[in-house]
Chains A and B, each alone.
Chain A
Amino acid sequence: KNQVEQSPQSLIILEGKNCTLQCNYTVSPFSNLRWYKQDTGRGPVSLTIMTFSENTKSNGRYTATLDADTKQSSLHITASQLSDSASYICVVSGDGAGNNRKLIWGLGTSLAVNP
């Protein structure tokens, strides 16, 4: 069964600290893996997209890694800010042809950054 599992379910850190969120998947075939940030009551916003051949990608203070052999990904947030408080969702696409028709969504990690 195609699944995306994220851990931890929730996390609280102090402003300025780093943190790492985990994503394990069992999606096959694999096309690409994405991380989204979703603020409370808003739509998800794309942070990174990685295909099979990419094992790291950065977007400002966000760095995603992908190990396609172990089917694991992580999202590292550096020097956290209050505005990083959000849900972070890992999404895996099993559709090589694109179209976003076969996306498997994780349940997200809820991150709270406290002053």
Chain B
Amino acid sequence: DVKVTQSSRYLVKRTGEKVFLECVQDMDHENMFWYRQDPGLGLRLIYFSYDVKMKEKGDIPEGYSVSREKKERFSLILESASTNQTSMYLCASSFPGQSSYEQYFGPGTRLTVT
């Protein structure tokens, strides 16, 4: 059974703090993703990684960075958290190419920045 886990279900941080969100998958997937989900806006891609140490900006990368030092782990970093980064953060993973249609999501981290 594919499993994508995220380090926290709920997180409360103060404005200006550095925040780390971690994601781990156990399916040996090459591709990993970070999305945020906001009411009325749907899921938006923040960053995408297609291999260890490889990353690509998504649609809304501003204010975020990522790290992928190991294949199974993909971290999202908020360098200086702001209130407009309060959101639900979802991690996902998949195989590359034509096998990538099946995308597996973690349970999400609801981040509140006060």
Chain A residues within CB distance 8 Å of chain B: 32, 34, 41-46, 49, 89, 93, 97-101, 103, 105-108
Does B106 interact with chain A (Cβ within 8 Å)? Answer: yes
Let me know if A106 and B100 touch, CB within 8 A.
Answer: no
Q: A106-B42, A107-B42 are in contact. Are A97 and B97 (CB under 8 A)?
A: yes
Report the minimal beta-carbon distance from B55 to chain A, rounded to whole angstroms: 12
Q: How far is the CA of A97 from the CA of B100 in the complex (A)?
A: 9
Instruction: List the 4 closest A-B pairs by CB distance, nearest first.
Output: A43-B105, A98-B100, A98-B97, A105-B42
Question: For residue B48, which residues in chain A have a CB less than 8 angstroms away from its CB?
Answer: 99-101
- Chain A residues positioned under 8 Å from B40 (CB to CB): 107
- How far does the alpha carbon of A45 sit from the alpha carbon of B104 in the complex, in Å? 7
Interchain CB contact under 8 A, A98 and B56: no
B residues whose Cβ falls under 8 Å from a Cβ of A: 4, 31, 33, 40-45, 48, 50, 56, 90, 92, 94, 96-108, 110
Bound form: Cα–Cα A34–B104 in Å: 13
Tell me whether A41 and B108 are in contact (CB under 8 A): yes
List the count of A-B residue pairs having beta carbons below 8 Å apart. Answer: 60
Once the chains bind, are A43 and B107 in contact (CB under 8 Å)?
yes
Question: Distance in Å from the Cβ of A97 to the closest Cβ of chain B?
Answer: 7
User: In the complex, what distance in Å separates the CA atom of A79 from the CA atom of B33?
Assistant: 35
B103 touches A100 (CB 8 A): yes
Interface residue SS majority, chain A: loop
Q: In the complex, what residues of A have CB within 8 A of residue B106's CB?
A: 43
Nearest chain B CB to A73's CB is how many angstroms away? 15
Which residue in B92, B96, B108, B110 is a CB contact (below 8 Å) of A98? B96
Chain B contacts for A100, CB-based, 8 A: 31, 33, 48, 92, 94, 100-101, 103
Q: How far, in whole Å, are A49 and B100 apart by their CA atoms in the complex?
A: 11
A38 to chain B, nearest CB (A): 8
Asked if A98 contacts B101 (CB within 8 A), the reply is: yes
Cα A105 to Cα B50 with chains together (Å): 20
Question: What is the minimal beta-carbon distance from A106 to any residue of chain B, in angstroms?
Answer: 7
Contacts of B4 in A (CB 8 A): 43
Per a CB cutoff under 8 Å, which of A34, A42, A89, A106 touches B101? A34
Determine whether the beta carbon of B33 is less than 8 Å from that of A42: no
